[in-house]
Chains A and B, each alone.
Chain A
């Protein structure tokens, strides 16, 4: 059976950064498995700029950002298998703790690979129409925003000429601009929530710049057309997201784009038996970004959906370093002293969900999202009920991931640690 020390599932921004850092940390045997024909993942179709401000202090486009990591991986001579689909990850039955990664490609056929550690970096998928309960016919002309993005930017096809967009996530906003620049008429963007999940910059530069209206608290209530989309009707919704009769507006169009959220792609993770968080829909991880299965790490959008690729790269680098420590036998394996982080009072979740101070590096980065838009709020962290961090935020919104860095010494000062709590407070 083929062997590797670390198998990285996915060659997008997370997988590349994880592999690079694992290699730099001294692991010589790493294999990246990528489903697509090229590395870089979703960045390849994100041709707009704004990537890399944190990492490179300049604004790059998606493909440029990806290339910097692809170049590094090549310089470090990290092997990558392209056009390769991972079918399953399972624990070896010999009790060694190794994982058996089964993958498939045209050159090698079906291959079983024995890995000491696995880094999950499969990214996420868009919520499709079937998951949205939109009434109406099922004609051609309904695409997720990301599919349209791939058609326009990679394949050079325009999916339609007259467009309605449901959902104001960043990809939907970016595609409103992209379709407009290519000559389509984008009539309206409807958003179910009373606020947009997209960045302000995208609302201004993708909608306002082109006079495209954004209708908050609106959803699609009808799609007309048997062969091809003919018209889409939207309506205002009440506070329980129910359409209000009499508020319908009908738009004649040939295309409906959906930008209604992203879901981490965790079929492999679930089948492996790793505990999945019902909130993030990614695996639960500890401070080392290790899942409930020892030696299996996760990072990037498969762990929880990010807004900025810079943070994906940071997180993935950490997963790579920890996987390297694991295969070098330097990581503590005991789960004694694990503390579950309590997220409450407006904090929807934290990643990691579990912290063990004994295993911590000098710092641990806690990432989380809030459940609504809050102004002039404090983010607080408590250890055993004692507040160790109290930070004022002018604004916190669901569309922007929050980050808190905690120091190991804060944990060392607390005797007999039993609880870690992250919450929002008014004062």
Chain B
């Protein structure tokens, strides 16, 4: 039996939820005041996911950095691996929203894409 404490992010109530797990299986969800909390807690203890956003250097652009994101959810446990994979990457302007910066990052099946347009600097 394992107990996990969570704060629900569904609304400003922020219910303190206790999930009881047995062999990785959810046995009970307590402390939530609505179904949103139940759903959130079950997903969060079995398969927590996040979107990671960052920025990387861009050469010859109007600005020196371009913002990027994982185009979809990645496992929460991979956040720092994704950051590590981004280290050392730099792009050449122009860069446009949706351009793939890094395909299938850390084997997650999710691409890193640009979230900003950076045009070439006019010299």
Contact = CB atoms under 8 A, between A and B. Distances in A.
A63 B63 CA distance: 13
B50 A200 contact: no
Nearest to B7: A204
A156 B64 contact: yes
B2 to A, nearest CB: 18
Given A61-B115, A394-B11, A155 B65 contact: yes
Interface residues of B, number: 31
A310 interface: no
B12 A59 contact: no
A63 B83 contact: no
Contacts of B65: 153-156
A200 B12 contact: yes
Most chain B CB within 10 A, of A38, A47, A397, is at A47
A44 interface: yes
A394 B50 CA distance: 27
A204 B9 contact: yes
Interface string A23-61: 000000000000001100000100111000000000111
Contacts of B27: none
Contacts of A361: none
A60 B97 CA distance: 11
Nearest to B117: A67
Given A49-B51, A155-B64, A200-B12, A67 B7 contact: no
A396 B11 CA distance: 10
Nearest to A181: B83
A399 B67 CA distance: 27
Contacts of A63: 67, 97, 115-116
A47 B11 contact: no
Contact of B54 (A37, A47, A201, A395): A47
A394 B54 contact: no
Interface in A164-196: 181-182
A203 interface: yes
Contacts of B69: 47, 49, 61
B57 A200 contact: no
Contacts of B9: 199-201, 204-205
Nearest to A397: B12
Given A44-B116, A67-B97, A394-B13, A153 B55 contact: yes
Candidate in A153, A182, A400 with the most chain B CB atoms within 10 angstroms: A153
A208 interface: yes
Contacts of A394: 11, 13, 33
Interface in A199-236: 199-201, 203-205, 208-209
A205 B33 CA distance: 21
A374 to B, nearest CB: 10
A365 B86 CA distance: 44
Contact of B7 (A59, A152, A203): A203
Given A153-B65, A203-B7, A394-B33, A64 B115 contact: yes
A375 B62 CA distance: 49
Contacts of A47: 53-55, 67, 69, 115-116
A63 B95 CA distance: 13
Interface string B6-19: 11111111100000
Contacts of B63: 38, 154
B39 interface: no
B76 to A, nearest CB: 7
B110 interface: no
B11 A203 contact: no
Contact of A64 (B12, B55, B97): B97
B79 interface: yes
A152 B55 contact: yes
30 contacts: A37-B62, A44-B116, A47-B54, A47-B67, A48-B53, A59-B51, A61-B69, A61-B115, A62-B67, A63-B116, A64-B97, A64-B115, A64-B116, A67-B116, A153-B67, A154-B64, A155-B65, A156-B57, A156-B65, A181-B52, A181-B83, A200-B7, A200-B8, A200-B9, A205-B9, A205-B50, A208-B7, A397-B12, A399-B12, A400-B12
- 10 smallest CB-CB distances across A and B, nearest first, come from A47-B67, A63-B116, A201-B9, A200-B14, A61-B115, A156-B65, A397-B12, A395-B13, A200-B9, A395-B12
Interface of B: 6-14, 33, 50-55, 57, 62-65, 67, 69, 76, 79-80, 83, 97, 115-117
